[in-house]
Amino acid sequence: MRLHASIVFGAAICLATLLLLYQLVSLPPDNNIAIPNQSYNALENRLKRLEQDISANHDTVQEIHGLLKKIGGTGNNSPVLHPRMKPVDAILAPQASDDAGPVFNTSVARLLPDDCNFSQAPASSVDILMENVYKSLPFDNPDGGAWKQGWEVTYESTQWSPERLLRIFVVPHSHNDPGWIKTFERYYQDQTSHILDNMARKLPEDPRRKFIWAEISFFSMWWHRQTPSVQDTVRGLLSRGQLEIVSGGWVMPDESGSHYWAIIDQLVTGHEWLREHLNVRPNNGWAIDPFGLSPTMAYILKRSGFDNMLIQRSHYALKKHLAASTNLEFRWRQAWDPDSSTDILCHMMPFYSYDVPHTCGPDPKVCCQFDFKRLPGSRVTCPWRVAPQPITQHNVQDRSALLLDQYRKKSQLYRTNVLLVPLGDDFRYDTAEEWDNQFLNYQLLFDHMNARSDNHVQAQFGTLADYFQALREESRTSQQQQGNAVAAGEEDEEALFPSLAGDFFTYADKDDNYWSGYFTSRPYYKARSRLLAHKIRAAEILFNLAVGSSGATDPAIPHNIAEQLHLELTEAHKALGLFQHHDGITGTAKDHVVLDYANKLLDGIHHSEHVTQFAAHSLIAPKSDQQSAEMVFFEVSEVHEGASVVSVPRVLHLGEPGRGAVILYNSHPHTYRGLATVRIDSPYIKVVNGSGRQVKCQVDPVFDGLQQGELFDVRFPVELKPLSLSRFVITRKEQPDLKFVTYATVIVKNEELPTLPTVFSVQSYSTDMPLVMQCGGSAAVSIGDNGLLESVTSDGVTYPLLLQFVSYRARETRETSGAYLFLPKGEAEVLVNEAPPTKVVSGPLHAILTTKLPLLTHTLSIANSPGLDSEGLTVRNLVNVRRERNFELAMRLVSDIDSQDTFYTDLNGFQMVRRIRESKLTLQGNYYPVASQAFIQDSTKRLTLLTGQPHGGSSLASGQIEVMQDRRLMQDDFRGVEQGVTDNVVTPNVFRILLERRLPGLDSSSGGARVMFPSLLAERSLHELLFPTVMLHHTYKASGLLQSWSVGSGTEVPCDVQLVSLRSIRGGVGGGAAAGAAAALTLRRGGIDCSFPPPRVDCATNGGKVQLNDILGGAFNEEVRQSTLSHLYAGVNITKSFTLTLQPMELYTFLLSPSPRSPIQGKR
């Protein structure tokens, strides 16, 4: 029985092929084993010889592997290419026992040749390409004197005249972190509420006073606690331009690990609040503290309607370089932009910090004397030991001359006579005294400077808007003076400034202090952020489809309940938004603040799941009796036991009445094909799909602590329509049904045989030969003695691909690794694992390797399915470094790809950037954010690592990619958090590894293309990784449930187009008051590299042509309005049947209103 079960589909089902064969021929005869072919006898002899030869090499294994393929029914069938995928049901028809198991067809996506041009064409030329700047700079860090990282700045006073005044805008600001040393709420209580209280009192005292504010999370909290008269005062300040909201996002987000989805989400949350309560539209970005800066942010601001932005924390050597060429103000352009449509005017601050000592001019010792919070007697002092003096009649002349000198020097670093001087710091202006000290003293200085006509200066308080307006005026004037006569109103206000493409990672603030540690710090919570984004996206799409597909008189969800669900989604958005803060997802807050974020994230997950289950029920039970929002009809198939605990699959208890139905929800506008996995409590089952047909499945035992032999995973192939719900029913049976169910084979090495029901074949592996794991037509993976991947064999070719775990030790000096900084002692050491406990569970559809290592449990799985999950390898590392000290763990892939010093990492899941490994940058300077993928390539192949969560990573040698898994550091690294990172928790890190062969003659890297794009397979696989199919377990006994539900016409959306989000809006341009009264649909067309043929992507590109009808079907009104990304500005009116042409790499947002009729359709 034991082995019989494993060969029901023939011996070549998904299993450890070579190993099983070995077992077949070596087990004693009384085990009643069927030898399928006489050829085995010859192999047996060879295997015996191999057994004696413990150094059996890969070539021999491969040769045997090749022979096995030729033996009928035992080999890995090469993928059979068919133009179209067969329906899954046809594939799942019962098959003869000598069949090689399910072989799923692979289809190649039909790529329109024109759609490949984008990735092949050179991008538009730019004046400054950061990649070239990196190549040219020595990064030698000479001492610059007073401006330590720059040079001694000088100027000629004659450059100013009565006609050419130096126009100085001093911009008072207060940087408020929504969580860092204290929690968000604690900061509000202790500091922020006082800052805003005083703002409302002290700004109106003098109309010349100005102030800017960025974080709407704080501002909205304060606003709702104010009296109508205070609110009126603030409205007046805003309308008079004394107060400006800059950026206006929920937070000032991190730009390294945050996904573009979440960056946009927090921006919409902030902007929606501003629209609804203040009717304010921010126009200027303000990012003074994020630790490195991404062009993705520039793109998002540009497409949200912003004209200008400001950034601060870039590498000191880059600041110096750009300052030396007066290029600190530039038109930031997307590297992939074929023209200049993405340009946004960007001001980079020149010095070390955004505090007062580093913003008035190059000499911090002087500038600190003009921070009047540090007046003698204050708790805050100047580290340069010269204190500020209160400005009086007696000293104003000297003091203003000293300050003006700094202003003039700073102005030499920019092209115009308009100068920006931020005046503020963290949590500043919290007392009336501080307001008075700063504003009164500065006004005296300004008045004096301005009164002396030979100064040729006009100094004043200003907002960021004031500054950029003056800057643009000056640019226009300068163009006219240079004789660039242009017609009135057609001046190019930005023509004075160079264009720049590239990013500002990895940030260093001094010496070799690269901030590449925070790319990985607290990885558990980074992953949690991705999970919440997925949960919100899925919930909101379903909720809005439910509300949008029914009319006001016939609501799918009763209005009062919809209102409550909408509030739950709002809470989830706020939790996700808060965590995108640059001390949230970065992992740079204190332990108790991290836990506070974690609890908020978990609440957001629960809220989102609640909305999903309710919306699903409303769609699949149209005549439902939904009486209150608290009703639970379905449970999401994951259990979240705590804010810092790894989520586990929910068990479907088949013995309980009413149980057994699962709903699969596809939230994408493409057909989903792949394996579904359900955790069950009985191995004897049948699975029936929505058409009432029994489907073939694989049952695996679960090895999870004490539950061994009691829990099982059933896996079955599914095909889910775009934007649909599909019902499957799993029923317990008394006997195993071997016609439809295959029980996995379990092979253990270096551990005891488990006790399992007899349907499972259990074997011990005791040779030194590599384990080979394979599934049907999938690639075969070879596992070494250390329990880790050694090579991948695909279509008869073996590619070496070593997976290693390596460790870094922190430097044993005062300056060493901490929450922010990565300062390793040296190169990493490869961790050696001798004879680790290893287990392979395999069957016709799926195989998984589990290796237990001292610091992690590593799993590697492959699938034989009709979907993308059968391409490439899935890795999950359950990491636990809690016993280590000053230790960082990384996973490294080592291949034979001739990538030399070049690798590619993504920014925000939005775009790829070429990185060149440079020894002048140090090891930690070569670490970059890997928000969602990295790849290396040569003329024939590409290795892509997709990541389910953000990491720091690099390629430290040709052919390698590595990503940090977790870091445990015992000390502070002096960047303010005043603690190490020692609160590590067990962390699940998930990856997909894709090895793709390039089409001959299509080397995108040699064609002059400056920008690289993911392959279509990588693009689609990443979307499945980050936004997977949602599974719901039915808990509620109800009749009349539909078998399935779907929206849309059934037309496939082009395969390079993604549904980013479908978000409820209230305050947007098309918004109304009621929940779900309007929704915003955001689509994105990816940029793809066509030189890699995309197997199993059964779709086509068509030049980005989309009708919203294809996605939405009858849901929502026919009238649609385009809008900016955060819904601040409306664009053209179109209809749902209008054919849109989406450009590669661009995001598009459309405002929808609900349909007057109810088009809910389903299949009973």
Which residues contact Zn ion by CB under 5 A?
177, 289
Amino acid at 799: Y
DSSP state of 249: -
Amino acid at 673: R
3-state secondary structure of 820: coil
Query: Which among 166, 770, 772 has a CA at the least distance from the CA of 456?
Result: 166
HSE-CB of 803 using CA atoms within 13 angstroms: 27
Say if residues 292 and 907 touch (Cβ distance below 8 Å). no
To Zn ion, the closest distance from the beta carbon of 192 in angstroms equals: 13
CB nearer to Zn ion: pick between 180 and 442:
180
DSSP E strands in 24-165: the ranges are 128-129
Could you tell me the CA-to-CA distances from 1137 to 1077, 1079, 1101, 1116, 1134 in Å, in that order?
21, 18, 19, 12, 8
CA distance 527 to 622: 35
Kind and range of the H or E element at 113?
A: helix 113-120
To Zn ion, the closest distance from the beta carbon of 585 in angstroms equals: 13
Q: For residue 1151, what are the β-bridge partners?
A: 1080, 1121
CA distance 42 to 351: 75
To Zn ion, the closest distance from the beta carbon of 180 in angstroms equals: 7
CB nearer to Zn ion: pick between 255 and 996:
255
CB nearer to Zn ion: pick between 286 and 505:
286
CA distance 993 to 306: 38
Query: DSSP string covering 828-863, please?
Result: PEEPP--S--EEEEE-SSEEEEEEEETTEEEEEEEE
Q: For residue 1152, what are the β-bridge partners?
A: 1079
**What is the residue whose two structure tokens read 């006082």?**
194
From 254, 265, 289, 700, the catalytic residue: 289
CB nearer to Zn ion: pick between 160 and 286:
286
Q: Which residues of 232-251 are buried (b: 16+ CB within 10 A; e: fewer)?
A: ebbeebbeeebbbbbbbbbb
Could you tell me the CA-to-CA distances from 656 to 224, 652, 660, 737 in Å, in that order?
48, 9, 8, 21
Q: Which residue lies nearest Zn ion, judged by its C-beta?
A: 289
To Zn ion, the closest distance from the beta carbon of 178 in angstroms equals: 9
Query: DSSP string covering 445-480, please?
Result: HHHHHHH-GGG-EEEEE--HHHHHHHHHHHHHHHHH
Q: For residue 773, what are the β-bridge partners?
A: 781
Other residues' Cβ atoms within 10 Å of the Cβ of residue 349: 22
CA distance 776 to 70: 14
CB nearer to Zn ion: pick between 177 and 272:
177
CA distance 229 to 1014: 54
CB nearer to Zn ion: pick between 246 and 879:
246
CA distance 424 to 120: 46
Say if residues 1032 and 634 touch (Cβ distance below 8 Å). yes
HSE-CB of 1033 using CA atoms within 13 angstroms: 22
Q: Which residues of 663-676 are buried (b: 16+ CB within 10 A; e: fewer)?
A: bbbbbbbbbbbbbb
CB nearer to Zn ion: pick between 73 and 253:
253
To Zn ion, the closest distance from the beta carbon of 177 in angstroms equals: 4
CB nearer to Zn ion: pick between 852 and 975:
975
Could you tell me the CA-to-CA distances from 1135 to 774, 977, 1119, 1122, 1157 in Å, in that order?
49, 52, 5, 10, 16
To Zn ion, the closest distance from the beta carbon of 427 in angstroms equals: 10
To Zn ion, the closest distance from the beta carbon of 518 in angstroms equals: 12
CB nearer to Zn ion: pick between 820 and 887:
820
CB nearer to Zn ion: pick between 177 and 700:
177
DSSP state of 817: -
CB nearer to Zn ion: pick between 513 and 794:
513
CA distance 485 to 126: 24
Could you tell me the CA-to-CA distances from 417 to 443, 449, 809 in Å, in that order?
20, 16, 49
To Zn ion, the closest distance from the beta carbon of 173 in angstroms equals: 12
- Please confirm whether the linkage preceding 60 is cis (ω < 30° from 0): no
CB nearer to Zn ion: pick between 177 and 1056:
177
CB nearer to Zn ion: pick between 289 and 1019:
289
* φ/ψ of residue 1004, rounded to 5: -65, -25
Active site residue 289: yes
Could you tell me the CA-to-CA distances from 383 to 369, 386, 508 in Å, in that order?
10, 8, 22
The set of residues, in sequence order, having a beta carbon less than 8 Å from that of 235 and lying 6+ positions away, is 278
Residue 1132: both structure tokens together = 């053209």
Q: Catalytic site residues?
A: 289
